Structure 1
Amino acid sequence: MSATWHVACPKTSGCDDPLINPTYDPNLSSLGCSKVFVAVAEKDLLRDRGLLYCETLKKSGWGGGIEIMEKVETFFLYVH
């Protein structure tokens, strides 16, 4: 996964850069929206990171609502 992040964001400091891993953003509690939707899938490589994001957001003191959609025996593929 690290190689993929460096392709997407060549100037990144690594996988814990807030640009690609918002759980490391020191300003997460001031997120500028009132709702967040996170979709994760049982077989998705980023499933655990998505769930960690939700937990970190809850603990940050951010006052918005979080909706999680978790699909079993599924993976997500996004094509642009």
Structure 2
Amino acid sequence: MKKLWLFWWIANTFWAVIFAVGIAFVWLREVDGAGITQTLEAKLASFIVLMIAFIFPVIIQVVWLIANLVINRNKKLKSQQV
């Protein structure tokens, strides 16, 4: 049980760090790869694209959280019956 939670927290930390680095990269750059100066509107568009890209990992993490909670609950119920 503890291994599942440990792996879940490690994965969450990994995705949070990657997301924070991506946001910092988008916010702090003055010129993008095409040589276009980044305006506030362009940065906001980049944030939206970055958030859309991170929807899939968030969904996976939520499903994994629910699975961990169900597994933890089932183990507690089994231990109470014995």
User: If the TM-score is normalised by the length of the shorter chain, which range does it land in?
Assistant: under 0.3
TM-score with structure 2 setting the length: 0.24
TM-score with structure 1 setting the length: 0.24
Q: Which has the higher strand share?
A: 1
